[in-house]
Amino acid sequence: MKHMKKSLYVLILPLIVVSGLVFANREIKSKTKPSQQKLSIADREARLLEDRKKWEASPDGIKYNKWEISPEGKKVHASHDKIRKYIKAFSNMDAVVTSLTFQRENAKSSGPKWLIVKINGEAYMMQFSPKDFQQLNSLKVNDKIIVRSHSAGYSPNHPYLIVSGDYIEQNSKVLFKRDFSKNNGC
């Protein structure tokens, strides 16, 4: 019995020592961490402005600014102005499918799929993952559809405004409806 007591102490003592070292190490680390203070609105805006200036001075920023003032960039911006109110209201836009096979130059065939549509005479692009694009496999060129979108984006690498295809309907049948619960509303 006396021998068992000694063995038990021999086993417990190192455990206590190691636990104390781990706890002490944790306290030292927590004291040396810099405190994360929330930035004021003015500080955040200043940081955003600073980041934007850095980006505009980068090769990508310079390329984008040149594109924006080019005839192609101005055309894309004008096409956005034509549908801005529909996007803001997430309301129906009558569209005609002009291409189901568009692919950017030098793009991977396994990459995103593009649907090109005309809305009020202007061409627009909608990007889909290959899985989402399968839901649109019944569409053909010249089909009339209804599109709803929450957003649109510009890119000097694309010939048209990129409209998010959040909802697509044909003949009162929903072909595609983006599930925002899967990507936190993005």
Residue 86: predicted pLDDT: 95
Cβ–Cβ under 8 Å, residues 158 and 125: yes
Q: Say which residue, 11 or 44, is predicted with more confidence.
A: 44
Residue 166: predicted pLDDT: 92
How many other C-beta atoms can be found within 10 angstroms of the C-beta atom of residue 124?
A: 26
Q: Say which residue, 38 or 2, is predicted with more confidence.
A: 38
User: Residue 115 has what DSSP assignment?
Assistant: E
Residue 130: predicted pLDDT: 87
Residue 2: predicted pLDDT: 61
pLDDT digits over 139-148, tens only? 999 999 999 9
Q: What is the mean pLDDT of residues 4-19?
A: 63
Whether the per-residue pLDDT at 82 is higher than 80: the answer is yes
Residue 180: predicted pLDDT: 75
Confidence band for 183, pLDDT divided at 50, 70 and 90:
low
Whether the per-residue pLDDT at 149 is higher than 80: the answer is yes
Q: Specify the DSSP element, H or E, that contains 124.
A: strand 122-128
56-176 is a CATH 3.40.50.300 domain: no
pLDDT digits over 20-44, tens only? 666 666 656 555 555 566 778 888 8
Residue 99: predicted pLDDT: 92
Confidence band for 90, pLDDT divided at 50, 70 and 90:
very high
pLDDT, averaged across the chain: 83
Nearest CA among 95, 148, 156, 166 for reference residue 124: 95
Residue 10: predicted pLDDT: 61
Residue 113: predicted pLDDT: 87
> Strands across the sheet with 173-177, in order?
152-153, 161-163, 122-128, 113-119, 93-99, 144-148, 167-170, 173-177
Delimit the domains of the chain by residue range. Answer: 56-176
Give the contacts of 72 (CB within 8 A, at least 6 positions apart). Answer: 156, 159
**Stated length of the chain:** 186
